[in-house]
Structure 1
Amino acid sequence: MPKKLWEGKMTKIQAVFIDRDGTIGGTGHFIHPRDFHLYEGAQEAINRLKQAGLKVYAFTNQHRISRGEATIEQFKEQFEQFGFDDAFICPHGDADDCTCKKPKPCMLFEASQKYGLELNRCIVIGDVGSTDMLAANAVGAIKVLVRTGWGESSLTTYRHNWKEVEPDYIAEHIRDAASWITDK
């Protein structure tokens, strides 16, 4: 986002939604919560956002839950350990006709209703343009794409899948994203 549009908005930002796989750790593919490790500096980035007075919510598709490979409770416990204020998780598989799987914005709407958020005063950080950025765009949230996980290929190989949307900021990693948000 151009600096002139961002100035003065930090005090108005209510929350940050952060994708899991490829954004705060892992490879972009499913990793069971017991085997998942944060990227270097990811915990500090989450803490930095919270210290800035922002609510931090997990925002993730986890279709392996529908296969019985993990539970929502295991993911929620992990997010709680990382310091997230809440977690919004789509557990459905590709064949399920759900309303919550990104790029659909229903998890964002659920959070908005639960916490009284104005989604145009929220930020979404993720590594996949065709899910994270499209969901953020659908609700008018500020869009931050990280280059980790699927981020680099979202910007190149798969850019055609979300060509109508521009991220407000492209971050090298979650630490860079948190700095961009809190240094404004």
Structure 2
Amino acid sequence: MILPIVAYGAPVLRKVCADITPDFPNLNKLLEDMWETMYASNGVGLAAPQINKGIRLFVIDSQQIFENQDEEDKGKYPDKPGVKRVFINAHIKEFDGDDWSYNEGCLSIPKIREDIMRPEEVVLDYVDENFQPHTERFVGITARIIQHEYDHTEGKLFIDYLKPLRKKMLQGKLNDISKGKLKLDYKMMYAK
């Protein structure tokens, strides 16, 4: 089932999320719905707060980026062919490498894209959908998507990395998003 995406301004997007246990109700259905919602919204990642759940859960599919790459971008990222994965109870252990810029967007903040600096590599502890533990290093575009989605579980948004003046310049657009004044190709849920 395709779920509505929570729009900028909703309190759940600013909440530090809680870990879950293997007996979390209907987890498999939730994951199925998250994948379906992410693909229907043309996303490469989706975090539980974006569907109004305050839990440490996100899904990513960086393979799409490599499958849809322009000729000029081929060979640009070291993590080809990308990964499709579920991350539950993720906690970052370390960042590594140089910071690099990439033009990011977010399903909860539609029609705004900004260049954001993030480290090249991230190491995190997480469990998969079977609650098997992993400690893994990710690089390139996959590391960036993970950091973006992980931030959602920490109550942080990509626009928080912007300089105050730039964020102030975007405030009108952000207000329009929170009030539902945009026409979108996917369903949104707005703060009341």
Give the TM-score taking structure 1 as reference length.
Answer: 0.26
Structure with the higher fraction of residues in strand conformation: 2
TM-score by length of 2: 0.25
CA radius of gyration, larger in: 2
